[in-house]
Chain A
C-alpha cells in the first residue's frame, strides 16, 4: 500500500521559468466559468489539497473512533490489533522509524497528534488550514473560520487528546466540525471553478479512503475460501468497517443481505447511490471535470477506473480478488491525481 499523497507542505516561491503560453491568449478569460474573476492555477491547487486534507481528517477520525469502539465490543480471545490503523493510510514505515511497539498509545499519538507524520489528523487539519489561508478570497469566510478554529483546537490537543479517556471528545469534534464545514461549503460556496477543485479533492480522497479500508480490513476478514461460514465476530467486524465509512444505514437500505464480505465489497465499490462508494465518488469527479476547461486527461482516467469497476458485479470475492481490485483502483486514483496536476497545476508546481 502506498502512503497517502500530499502536496509539498509549504509551497514556497521557486523561480519559475517563463513557460510559453498556449496559442490562444485571452484578453479576459474566455470561458472563465460562471463568474467574472479568473481562477489561478495556484488557487485551484490549494483548494484541491484543502478538499483532500479535510476529507482525510474526517475519515481518519471516523476510522479511529470506530476502531476504538470495536476493541471494546470484541472479547479478548479474538485477535484484533491496532496495526490495521497504520496499514490503511499506509504509514507503517514512518511509524516503525519512530516507534518499536505497535501499541495503542504509540499508534494513537502517531496517527492523531504527530506533526511529523504527514498523514496524521494533526497534519491533515493544519495543512488544510495552510492551503485555505492562501485562498480565502474564494472560500466562504464562515468555512475558513471553522477550518481555522479546528486546526487550532487540534494543536491544543496534541499533548493528551489522543489518550483513550479524551480521544472521543477530540474525534467527535473533528467529525462534527468537518461536517459543519462541508455544510457551509455546500450551502454558501458558489458553484464556480474554485468549488469544482475543492469538490474533486474531496471526492478523490473519499474514494481513496474507501479502497484503502476495503483493502486492509476487508481482505483480512474474508476467508481465503471465499464465502465460508461467518462467525459472530466477523459480523461485528464487518459492521465496524461499514460504520467507519458511515455506510451501515445506507447498506441496510440497499439490500436485505447480512453485513458480510462479498455484499459489503460490492456495496462499497459500486453502489451508485451511496456517497462514499468508489463509483459515486468517481462520478462526482467526472461531473466536476465536465464543467472545467482542458479536462480530457483527467476525464479519461476517470473513465478508465469506471471500466475497471464494471467487473464488480461478476467477481467472486476472495482475499485475492479484493486485494487486486483495491490495488488497481488505487493506481487508477493516483493516475487521476496526476492527470489533474498535469492539466491544471503544472505551470506552478
Chain B
C-alpha cells in the first residue's frame, strides 16, 4: 500500500552497497544534507516532486527514442528525482583515473595505426587487433591532430558490493548521454531547487563550452567552422545531437548537407552557397560515415569525409577506427596498456574478464555460466547480454553453443552486484541499481565532466540500466565538503 504520509525514507534499505546510506542506515559522507532533506519530506511530497519533474521534461521536449517501442519520437526521458552523490575527494580519484585511462587508450590507438609497438612488445596479440570489427586498416598512417583519436569518451563505471569503482566499458566510438546529464541537472534545479541552497554542488554546465573548445583545437588555426553530424531525426540520440549543436552554437548537419570536393575539402550547403567545414563532431558510426571507404550503401554520412580527414583538411571527432579499442576482448588488456604506455599503475580497475577465445578460459566459462555475465565483444547498449544466474537452462545451453561456435566474439565477467540508489517507486522509495557514465574530452588537454549521467535500473533486482532498454536516470552530484 502507498504510504504518502510516511516520511520518504521510511523503511529504506537493501542488501547491497547503497550510494546514499551505509549498512547501518546512516548517510554516507557527502550525502548528509540530501539525506536530511529526504527524511524531512513525506513520500507523498516526494512523489509530487517526481511528477513535477516528469511534466517539466515533457514540456521541454527532453526525449529519448527507444527503437523497440516504435517510432515515438516524443518518448519522455525517464529521470528519478533523487540525486546520486559523490564526495568531491572520491571524485578527484575517479577523475584522475579516467584521464589516465583515456590517455593510454589514445596512445594505444595512435600506436596501432602507426608502429604497433604494443603488438611488437607482446602486450596485445596481432590477431586480436586485426580480427576486431572496429579495426580500420584504412586509417593506418593517418596523423590526427595531437595524435588523439578518441576525443570524446563515455566510460561506464560501476561500483561493486565492496564499494570499489570499476570501469565496465570505455565507449570510444559515439557515446551518448551527456545532454541528459545536463538536462537532469536543469530539471532538478527547476523542481527541487531548495536542495541546492545548503550545499556546494559542482556545476556541470561547462561541458558544451569545453566540447567546442576541444573541437576548435583540432583546426589548424584554432577557429574553424565546426558542425555536429547526425544520422537524423530517427536516431535514438537525435535529441542530444540537436542539444549539443544548440549549446555550442554550431550547425547540426546531416550527411546530405555536406560534400567533399576534388581537392579533398569539405563543404556544407548553405543558402549563400557552400561554406567550408573544418571539424565535424560526428555522431554517425564508422561504418556509415563515408560510402567511399566503408559501407557503400550508406546515405547517413557523406562520400569523401575520410579522404578529407586523411588529407588533413578536415578533423573528425572521434576519428574513425577507435572501435578497435572498444572491443571487449581488447578491454581486458587496458590495465597492461596503461602500464606499457604510461609506466603507471592503473588508478581505476577493470572488471575481471574472461577471454573466451583462450581455450582454458572458455572451458571455465562454459562450466560456470550460471555465475557469470556473458557479453558480445562488439555490441553496445546491453545487447545480447546474458546474466547467468537469471537465465533458464535452455538459454544457458543456447549461449554455450554460441560461445563454442565463435569464442572470439564473447567475453565473460563475474557478476558485479551493482550499487543501489534510492529511487521513487510506486509505493515507496526503494533501492535500484545504478551505474555512472562520465564523459572525458581529450585533445591537447583532458577534461572530465563533474560527475556524469547516472543510469538506474527500473525493476527491482535488475542490473539493466541501459537507456535503450528502458533504464532511467538520475542527476549526479559532486559535493564539496
- Where the two chains meet, the residues of A that have a C-beta atom closer than 8 Å to any C-beta of B are 10, 12-16, 18-19, 21-22, 24-32, 37-44, 130, 133-134, 136-137, 144-145, 148-149, 152, 193, 197, 292-294, 344, 347-348
Select one of A16, A25, A32, A42 contacting B274, CB under 8 A. A25
Interface pair A12/B232, CB less than 8 Å apart = yes
Contacts of B243 in A (CB 8 A): 136
Interface pair B273/A25, CB less than 8 Å apart = yes
A294 and B270 alpha carbons, distance in the complex (Å): 12
Interface pair B269/A40, CB less than 8 Å apart = yes
Interface pair B271/A348, CB less than 8 Å apart = no
Q: How far is the CB of A195 from the nearest CB of chain B, in Å?
A: 13
Q: How far is the CB of A341 from the nearest CB of chain B, in Å?
A: 12
26 contacts across the A-B interface (CB closer than 8 A): A10-B233, A12-B232, A13-B299, A14-B299, A15-B256, A15-B299, A16-B299, A21-B261, A21-B267, A22-B273, A25-B276, A32-B272, A37-B249, A38-B225, A38-B268, A38-B270, A39-B270, A40-B270, A41-B271, A130-B73, A136-B242, A145-B59, A148-B59, A152-B74, A197-B271, A348-B269
Answer yes or no: B475 CB below 8 A from chain A CBs: no
Select one of B60, B246, B261, B276 contacting A28, CB under 8 A. B276
Answer yes or no: B245 CB below 8 A from chain A CBs: yes
A134 and B242 alpha carbons, distance in the complex (Å): 7
Shortest Cβ-Cβ A-B pairs, 3 listed: A137-B246, A16-B256, A148-B61
Select one of B225, B253, B259, B271 contacting A344, CB under 8 A. B271
Contacts of A26 in B (CB 8 A): 272-276
Q: How far is the CB of B265 from the nearest CB of chain A, in Å?
A: 9
Prevailing SS type, chain B contact patch: mixed
Given contacts A41-B269, A145-B61, A347-B269, contact A133 B274 (CB under 8 A): no
- Where the two chains meet, the residues of B that have a C-beta atom closer than 8 Å to any C-beta of A are 58-61, 73-74, 225, 231-234, 238, 242-243, 245-246, 249-257, 259-261, 267-276, 299-300, 303
Interface pair A18/B259, CB less than 8 Å apart = yes
Q: How far is the CB of B309 from the nearest CB of chain A, in Å?
A: 17
Interface pair B232/A13, CB less than 8 Å apart = yes
A29 and B267 alpha carbons, distance in the complex (Å): 11
A10 and B232 alpha carbons, distance in the complex (Å): 10
Interface pair B60/A145, CB less than 8 Å apart = yes
Candidate in A12, A40, A152, A293 with the most chain B CB atoms within 10 angstroms: A40
Candidate in B243, B272, B275 with the most chain A CB atoms within 10 angstroms: B272
A31 and B272 alpha carbons, distance in the complex (Å): 8
Contacts of B225 in A (CB 8 A): 28, 38
Contacts of B233 in A (CB 8 A): 10, 130, 133-134
Q: Can you name 16 extra interface pairs (CB under 8 A) apart from A29-B272, A38-B275?
A: A15-B299, A16-B259, A26-B272, A32-B275, A40-B268, A41-B271, A42-B253, A133-B233, A134-B242, A136-B242, A137-B242, A149-B59, A152-B58, A294-B271, A348-B256, A348-B257
Select one of B232, B246, B251 contacting A38, CB under 8 A. B251
Interface pair A136/B246, CB less than 8 Å apart = yes
Contacts of B61 in A (CB 8 A): 133, 144-145, 148
Contacts of A144 in B (CB 8 A): 61
Select one of A15, A28, A347 contacting B275, CB under 8 A. A28
Closest residue to A293 on the B side, CB-wise? B272
A44 and B251 alpha carbons, distance in the complex (Å): 12
Given contacts A136-B246, A137-B246, contact A42 B273 (CB under 8 A): no
Contacts of B275 in A (CB 8 A): 26, 28-29, 32, 38
Given contacts A26-B274, A137-B242, A145-B59, contact A13 B268 (CB under 8 A): no
Candidate in B245, B254, B300 with the most chain A CB atoms within 10 angstroms: B254
Q: How far is the CB of A244 from the nearest CB of chain B, in Å?
A: 31
A293 and B273 alpha carbons, distance in the complex (Å): 9
A43 and B249 alpha carbons, distance in the complex (Å): 14
A348 and B258 alpha carbons, distance in the complex (Å): 10
Candidate in B61, B246, B251 with the most chain A CB atoms within 10 angstroms: B61
Contacts of B300 in A (CB 8 A): 13
A16 and B258 alpha carbons, distance in the complex (Å): 9
Closest residue to B261 on the A side, CB-wise? A21
Select one of A18, A29, A39 contacting B303, CB under 8 A. A18
Contacts of A22 in B (CB 8 A): 273-274
Q: How far is the CB of B233 from the nearest CB of chain A, in Å?
A: 6
Interface pair A37/B272, CB less than 8 Å apart = no
Interface pair A13/B254, CB less than 8 Å apart = yes
A179 and B243 alpha carbons, distance in the complex (Å): 26
Contacts of A29 in B (CB 8 A): 270, 272, 275
Closest residue to A139 on the B side, CB-wise? B246
Contacts of A344 in B (CB 8 A): 271
A193 and B300 alpha carbons, distance in the complex (Å): 27
A32 and B274 alpha carbons, distance in the complex (Å): 11
Q: How far is the CB of B248 from the nearest CB of chain A, in Å?
A: 9
Contacts of B268 in A (CB 8 A): 38, 40
Interface pair A24/B59, CB less than 8 Å apart = no
Candidate in B250, B253, B259, B260 with the most chain A CB atoms within 10 angstroms: B259
Interface pair A38/B257, CB less than 8 Å apart = no
Given contacts A14-B256, A21-B273, A137-B242, contact A37 B60 (CB under 8 A): no
Interface pair B59/A293, CB less than 8 Å apart = no
Interface pair A293/B271, CB less than 8 Å apart = yes
Contacts of B231 in A (CB 8 A): 13
Contacts of A39 in B (CB 8 A): 270-272
A43 and B268 alpha carbons, distance in the complex (Å): 12
